[in-house]
Amino acid sequence: MVGELIVGRYELEELVGSGGMSNVFRAHDRLLERTVALKILHEQYTRDEDYVERFRREARAVAQLTHPNIVTVIDRGEQDGRQFIVFEYVEGQNLKELSAQGPLDPREAIRLALQVAHALSFAHARGLVHRDVKPQNVLLNDDGQAKVTDFGIARSLDVHGVTQTGTVLGTSDYIAPEQARGQKVDPKTDIYSLGAVLYELLTGQVPFSGDNFVAVAMRHVSEPPPSVLEHRPDCPLRLDLAVQRAMAKDPADRFESMDELCAELEACLAELDGRDGEGATMIVPPPPRPRRARPQRERRRFPVGIVLIVLLAALLVAGGAYLLLTNDSAKKALHVSSAPSKPVALEGIGAYDPPPGDNSEHDGDAGKATDGNSSTAWTTESYHPGGFTKPGVGLVLRAPRPLALGKVTVEGTGTPFNAVIEGSDSPNGGFVQVSDRADVTGTTTFSIDTDGKTYRYYMVWLRLPGHEGQAAISEVRAKT
């Protein structure tokens, strides 16, 4: 096809990319004397109206998206029954080629992820979900600017039909669990995939590997997101937690929107640049949500679309890209088991010092106990001998959402103290004991038993033996 002239205007110069549905050529636009990218739908799909409509929809969808980080659509047409789309030509490599050279510096990884996130946020605001966010679909121009491309399987949030529930689309290395099961997708699906892309930029490898689509997709469905810190100990804790939250199995546990993910990545970048202020010491917590009964979620049955993946492996070998799953054994194989313990980002929000206390105990320093920096700490007042006569004083911690913790680790410095962990639905009272009492003389881990209840707020409630001294908590970490 190289050398062919399309509609008397676009001369094909070189094949620069090939995918499951189309080929992409560098072409010369004779009319405007410029280089363009021309995508041509594979011939075998031109007789399938579903594929043709999906291809046309890409042109219509992206034509609405004028954004510096989205590849611009120039033209669309048909010649001899072949559908084509003309895009701006981006000279340079893609993110996959960049990540193949090795892990990126966290600042550079965040910078690139932010550009992609802003582009996707722009698309989401106009009712479009990309559904195939992967590094191969992010092009880098000579200035290092990222441009998202290939909205070929993008779905309008209010369109039903060729990409409805029950069809698995996307690339398995970055596929969200709900997408792998053939369930409904929404903007949070793109959040998961972008989290997987950011993981690869930071570590130089995909989150989950496997021999085929099925094996990888099963791991995305059933295994907790890996920690960047396992491969990059130098990665900031806050950034690692942001990646894990973006890749949460349950969409409800992810960032509420792409804009919220952008805000958190901006905060991570600010910390790396030494520009962090009072509001940038911990991952932005999601707003409170109504509690969901965990047993109901465990009993949830997957739709028939979950079993698409078994047939998909065979179709991929044959060159296909989409299918429906109907095998019950595959349903069982992909059924989500109880998630293993995983880190929870707590946020120190203040102190609890009820009467006979004075309702204040270095409240402004509470965030220092959860900032990932052991050299900073929240401290009690300095009590003279016999001065600590109240029942106790507490450090109040806020969880990202109501949940049942499994373990809380407290790093104590200063005067050794005796403590217990308590939970409540309010930061202002109603706390109940959820752990045994223990002496904290260094790093101490408390086993938590909430008796099946979830709490948004937890507290380290402490007493000073001898009624004197100054207790300090440098870090509090938690796991489910």
- Active-site residue list: 132
Do 103 and 239 touch, CB atoms closer than 8 A?
Answer: no
Helix orientation angle between 308-318 and 213-222, rounded to the nearest 10 degrees: 150
183: its two tokens? 């369930």
DSSP code at position 426: B
Within 10 angstroms of residue 465's Cβ, the number of other Cβ atoms is 12
CB 369 within 8 A of CB 348: yes
Pairwise CA distance, residues 355 & 128, whole Å: 54
Dihedral sign, Cα of residue 246, residue 248, residue 250, residue 252: negative
Q: Are 411 and 473 in contact (CB under 8 A)?
A: yes
Please tell me what DSSP assigns to residue 216. H
CB 12 within 8 A of CB 6: yes
Amino acid at 206: V
Q: How many residues belong to the chain?
A: 480
Give dist(CA 207, CA 217) in Å, integer.
Answer: 11
Q: CB of 30 within 8 A of CB of 21? A: no
List phi, psi (to 5°) of 201: -60, -35
**Residues linked to residue 26 through DSSP beta bridges, in sequence order:** 14, 37
**What is the rounded CA–CA span in Å between residue 27 and residue 360?**
69
The three-class DSSP label of residue 115 is: helix
Nearest to 117 by CA among 148, 80, 156, 154: 148
Pairwise CA distance, residues 204 & 198, whole Å? 10
Give the CA dihedral 267, 270, 274, 277, nearest 10 degrees.
-50
For residue 92, the one-letter residue type is G
Task: Name residue 477's beta-bridge partners.
Answer: 409
CA 384 to chain centre: 48
CA distances from 18 to 23, 150, 271 (A): 4, 12, 40
By DSSP bridging, strand 34-41 and strand 128-129 are unpaired
| Cβ atoms < 10 Å from Cβ of 204 | 15
Q: Would you state the structure tokens that stand for residue 82, as one six-digit string?
A: 């072949």
